[in-house]
Structure 1
Amino acid sequence: MKNTLIIGATPNPARYAYRAAHMLKSKGHSIVNIGIKSGEVAGVAIEKPAEIYEDVDTVTLYIGPPLQSGYFNYILETHPKRVIFNPGTENDELKDILRANGIETMNACTLVLLATDQY
């Protein structure tokens, strides 16, 4: 199972990040919720981007490019194996930085990857 860091986590059930957190947990993956809102999702508290997690397999992004620059160093410091750019989060600048640091990038939908057992 893959430890997944969700950037853009929210307690709002209408958001895709919320749905992804629940689906990841239901498929047996551990999650870390990172966001600006307070609360919890899928039984896991939403944290600010402070603690560095070093056992992250995947980062899945649910924030748009204008907000991502504040997370560049945080993502790099976690040393994930891959970063998933969900629809609307694609960012060539961040992709170039990640690839230069040996991190795989994907333009994909976490929900679709999970639903089709491609995660």
Structure 2
Amino acid sequence: MLKATMVIGASLKPQRYSHSAIIRLDALNIPVIAIGLREGKVGTTQIMTFDTAVAQCDTLKENLDTITLYLNPQRQEEYYDFIIDLNPRRVIFNPGTENPAFAMKLQSKGILTESACTLVMLATGQY
């Protein structure tokens, strides 16, 4: 069974890259966990709020592989401890989300980081 990818910064708006990433991950049968400002659905994926995700942290980390970020660096700060507690194998910083200070924190915990575009990685088989 494939391990899940968590999309942080998930949007219900079809023009957003996070929305496209959820659709593409789902199309490739990669389990998706989506966290956004508003609850809702993108395809078959339910978007949960950060508070809901924090409450479910222990359950979420059981099958988690990757976190892909769609939040600017300032908005990421409230997620630092949550992401570190989840202990994913890797965190992808999509264009516009690059955060060297946070990447260094993650790397010090043994979490791989990549500054890359999830959509390009999926399209080129590099995911």
TM over 0.5: yes
Q: 1:38: how far off?
A: 2.3
2:45 aligned partner, one-letter code: V
The residue aligned with 2:25 is 24
Whose helix fraction is larger, Structure 1's or Structure 2's? 2
1:83 aligned partner, one-letter code: V
1:15 aligned partner, one-letter code: R
- Partners of 1:113 and 1:44 in 2: how far apart? 20
2:111 aligned partner, one-letter code: I
Deviating beyond 6 angstroms after TM superposition, the runs of 4 or more aligned structure 1 residues are none
Unaligned runs of 5+ in 1: none
- Partners of 1:20 and 1:30 in 2: how far apart? 12
The residue aligned with 1:111 is 119
Q: 1:44: how far off?
A: 1.5
Q: Which string of whole-angstrom CA distances, capped at 9 and with x for unpartnered residues, describes residues 43-88 of structure 1?
A: 1211122221112100000000010000001101111000000000
- 1:1-119 to 2 correspondence within 5 Å? 1-49=2-50, 50=54, 51-52=56-57, 53-54=60-61, 55-119=63-127
TM-score, length-normalised on structure 1? 0.96
Unaligned runs of 5+ in 2: none
Whose strand fraction is larger, Structure 1's or Structure 2's? 2
Q: Is the 8 A contact 1:10 1:40 kept in 2?
A: no
Q: Is the 8 A contact 1:2 1:30 kept in 2?
A: yes
Aligned length: 119
